[in-house]
Amino acid sequence: MAYTSWKRSREADRWQHMPPSEARTVLIEAYDADARQEALLRAFLAELDRDHSAARFWVAVYDMIVIAAESERNRQGSSGS
């Protein structure tokens, strides 16, 4: 049996019941500037474990983090002019 890094190191059950928007918030609070990398790492580990729905979940979380960061940058840019 293959070692399932995702299940052992990431407590997958907790995330399976959480909407991506909530997971985005948790990752940003926990990892700050590294939240995007953490989401991609989790997507990669899920894909290695052949958990395709979890991989899609984490890619969606990554997309939400990127959109939030771009919105924040745009907001800061427009307030500075």
Residue 76 pLDDT > 70, yes or no? yes
In a domain, residue 43? The reply is yes
Alpha helices in the chain (DSSP H): 5-9, 12-16, 20-31, 35-48, 52-79
pLDDT digits (tens, 9 = 90+) for 23-53: 999 999 999 999 999 999 999 988 998 989 9
In a domain, residue 2? The reply is no
Report the domain count for the chain.
Answer: 1
> Considering the entire predicted model, what is its pTM?
0.78
In a domain, residue 5? The reply is no
Please give the single-letter amino acid code of residue 11: E
What does the mean pLDDT of the chain come to? 84
Domain ranges, residue 28 = 10-79
In a domain, residue 74? The reply is yes
Q: What pLDDT is attached to residue 77?
A: 82
